[in-house]
Amino acid sequence: MQIDIQTRPFTLSEPLRYYSERRIRFALTRFEDHIQRVSMWLSDVNGPRGGKDKHCRLQIVLAGTNDVLIEDTQLNLHVAINRSLERAGRSLVRKLDRQRSRMQRSRIDAAESSAPA
């Protein structure tokens, strides 16, 4: 799983990079066979003015299906990262379950149409 982390308007510190990568791996390792790349954008919307403005945006590129996009804004950047990854995990479970169900239905339909009448 390829991980790309970008920040704006601040620089990515080594502790923040380590924390983000560790959380991504913890939250998404079970989907590793399906994930090609995870891109995370971290930003401080209001800069030094403060407020609920720490933003985390995730793009998870999957093999054979549409990307998963998740965004969250919180007071604390670590909380925004955690919530985004929790939501991403739930979204991936739903998406992969739907994909698996479609594949099973298409196999059943194919088997029924090729069976002699």
pLDDT digits (tens, 9 = 90+) for 51-88: 678 999 999 999 888 899 999 999 999 999 999 999 99
Tokens of 81: 């990262």
- In the block, tokens 């990854």 appear at 85
Is the pTM here over 0.75, yes or no? yes
For the domain covering 2-114, report its CATH number.
Answer: 3.30.160.100
Q: Is 116 helix (H, G, I), strand (E, B) or coil?
A: coil
Which H or E element spans position 75? Answer: none
Give every CB contact of residue 73 below 8 A, 6+ residues apart in sequence.
Answer: 45, 52, 53, 54, 55, 56, 80
